[in-house]
Amino acid sequence: MKNTMKNCYLSLIVPVYNEDRNIEIFLQRALKIIKKYDYEIIFINDGSTDRSEEIIKSHCQKNERIKLISFTRNFGHQMALFAGYQFAQGQAIVSIDADLQDPPELIEAMIDRWQAGAKIIYAKRQERQGETFFKLVTAKLFYWLINFLSETSIPEDVGDFRLVDRGVVEYLKNLSEKPEFLRGLVSWPGFKIDFVYFKRDKRHFGKTGYTLGKMINLALNGIIAFSTKPLRLSTLLGFFVSLFAIFIVVFKSVQHFVFGQGVWLPGWASLFFSIVFLGGVQLIMIGLLGEYIARIYKEVQRRPNYIIKEMVNC
């Protein structure tokens, strides 16, 4: 393994999962913008099963500033980004998708904002093309929920397309927790932030690697890693439900024994409802506890975040 370029100015980190038809055009567009800087591009191949790896390697041979880290299997977008941060040498590090939904042309504006003193520059989506109504609504709901639950404020309409300063990367590398929700981890320390704005295009070729399952996983990881309020809320809910039950019993008893009023016969529907409803609430709360415990378990296991199969030009 040779370390070709040390301490360059700009690192581009690009997670890749089955993007063979996008890489060529991505490189054309990105290089046009970044070639004027002292740059490196690190592709992280997250277990692609198409020709992505082969194509990246052929570019690595032609240009030693193009580098490849290849995982043994699919470890997920967040882990691919994290590996990128761990190996990046630049003073400014830009994470960008390979499917051209994040326009490389925006990097110049990001560098301007960085030179003006911001440590994290987010690319904020003003318009999102080619995204389903479902994705737009669930994204909105997710950001509302996480900002309601968490003390770390996470900017809305911001994905993982951002420039971060070297200092932010050093902080990320020193974290001992699993980097499962980088957007939150990047926001947490309170570095000076700024925004650039763009219109998010459709993906160039192929289909999204973010299945519904992966999206739900990311959302849950984000909420659980950045808030323990759901646990508090479940305690409060239990408290109020019990209080309500006591109130009903007292109310009914007084009504019957003191005033001799009211119907004392238990209704089937209300009994059925309260049993099933409370059963459901209890299951949800146990599941919620389980989510936190599962995270503790994963942290305790201390498995590596990813396994590297091969590195080129790194």
Judged by the rule CB under 6 A, the positions of this chain that interact with ligand UDP are 15-17, 19, 46, 74, 76-77, 80, 97-99, 101, 203, 208-210
CB 183 within 8 A of CB 160: yes
Closer Cβ to ligand UDP, 119 or 203, answer by number: 203
Residue 95 found at the interface with Mg ion (CB under 5 A)? no
Please report, in angstroms and rounded to a whole number, the separation of the first and last CA atoms in the chain: 6
- In the DSSP assignment, the letter for residue 35 is T
Residue 203 found at the interface with Mg ion (CB under 5 A)? yes
The interface partner of residue 210, options being ligand UDP, Mg ion, none and the CB cut-off 5 to 8 Å by kind, is ligand UDP
The residue of the chain with the least Cβ separation from ligand UDP equals 209
Total number of residues binding Mg ion (CB under 5 A)?
4
Q: Helices (DSSP H) in the chain: which residue ranges?
A: 23-34, 52-62, 77-87, 107-115, 133-149, 166-173, 182-187, 212-226, 229-253, 268-301
- In the DSSP assignment, the letter for residue 200 is E
Q: Is 215 left (phi over 0), alpha (psi -120 to 50) or beta?
A: alpha
Task: Please tell me the distance from the alpha carbon of residue 83 to that of residue 14, in angstroms, as a whole number.
Answer: 10
Closer Cβ to ligand UDP, 34 or 118, answer by number: 34
Closer Cβ to ligand UDP, 16 or 118, answer by number: 16
The interface partner of residue 19, options being Mg ion, ligand UDP, none and the CB cut-off 5 to 8 Å by kind, is ligand UDP
CB 50, min distance to ligand UDP, A: 11
Closer Cβ to ligand UDP, 65 or 203, answer by number: 203
SS3 37: coil
Which chain residues interact with Mg ion by CB under 5 A?
Answer: 97, 99, 101, 203
